[in-house]
Structure 1
Amino acid sequence: MDDQFQYYSRKLQYEIDAADLMHILKTGKKVVIVDARSPEAFLNEHIPGAISFPHRQMYEHTTDVLARDVLYVTYCDGIGCNASTKGALQLARLGFEVRELIGGLDWFKRDGYATEGLLAPTQPVTEVVCAC
């Protein structure tokens, strides 16, 4: 049982879902949402408040302006994309506290949260339905 407990405890230290992300944003905790995809993908659609920081551009000299006292949450398109994993790895390697958004932008939208950008849906979100 100890092995299972440790596994799931550690897993939750590195991942976050959309509902938990939105909850901690509402609590006022310092969080920076990082879109680790290309700048073009970010312009087309992204999570509101996110910053565009492609994983291929994350180096010590490009992250020196980032605050060290916040939680960084990386995301990409979703299951078929690993930019969020690569971004989380780079930020963790550079000493930042980071979690990866489970399911990325795809699951964020499936949970009913609004997005913004050139290709974002224009229909307002009326109810967020989370199954967790």
Structure 2
Amino acid sequence: MTDALDADHIAHLRRRLEWETDASDVHAAQEAGERFVLVDTRGDAAWAQGRAVGAIHLPTARIAEDAAAEIPIDVPVVVYCWGPGCNGATKAALAFALQGYRVREMIGGFEYWAREGYPVETDGGRIHRAPDPLTAPTAGVACDC
């Protein structure tokens, strides 16, 4: 690779990390008390079925109308939808960005939040699932990556 290509590649990777995060990093940020709002952008039935503990519910279709009333503009936002096969979080991130929010997507979505063993809440209460060994280490809470 040439130096210019290396610099472009590095810049690209830095930009991705600026706009994307993952379940492990979000959970660590929650535990550290970092200031941000985690937003579940799925519909009502999905929210009732289960969501990341600490998330608020704001479906993508309501972001333009309701975000300002629910989330101060100076608070960073992290959005998620179902999982890696869904671009709902990208649509939600765009809706927040158009409103002027600093927003990141939680890649992997709710699927990887739950599969990695982070706390899930349903309308019936909290659930704690064991980490799926295909997505997270089973001996601890960090992937060391």
Higher RCO structure, 1 or 2 (CA under 8 Å, sep 6+): 1
Q: Distance in 2 between matches of 1:22 and 1:80?
A: 21
Q: Which of 12, 16, 19 is the equivalent residue of 2:24?
A: 19
Q: Distance in 2 between matches of 1:11 and 1:111?
A: 22
Is the contact made by 2:119 and 2:127 (CA closer than 8 Å) also made in structure 1? no
1:62 to 2:66 alignment: yes
Match of 1:128 in 2: 141
1:78 to 2:83 alignment: yes
With the length of structure 1 as denominator, give the TM-score of the two structures: 0.88
The answer for unaligned runs of 5 or more in structure 2 is 1-5, 132-139
1:4 to 2:9 alignment: yes
Is the contact made by 2:116 and 2:130 (CA closer than 8 Å) also made in structure 1? no
Amino acid at match of 1:63: A
1:38 to 2:51 alignment: no
Q: Distance in 1 between matches of 2:142 and 2:10?
A: 28
Which of the two has higher C-alpha Rg? 2
With the length of structure 2 as denominator, give the TM-score of the two structures: 0.80
How many residues are paired up? 131
Q: Distance in 1 between matches of 2:120 and 2:106?
A: 15
- Map Cα deviations across residues 14-63 of structure 1 (whole Å, 9 max, x no partner): 1001111122222222111101110111011000011111101111x422
1:120 CA drift (Å): 7.8
Q: Which has the higher strand share?
A: 2
1:87 CA drift (Å): 0.6
**Residues 10 and 109 (structure 1 numbering): CA distance in 2 closer, same or farther, change over 3 Å?**
same
1:130 CA drift (Å): 2.5
SS in 1 for 2:37: strand
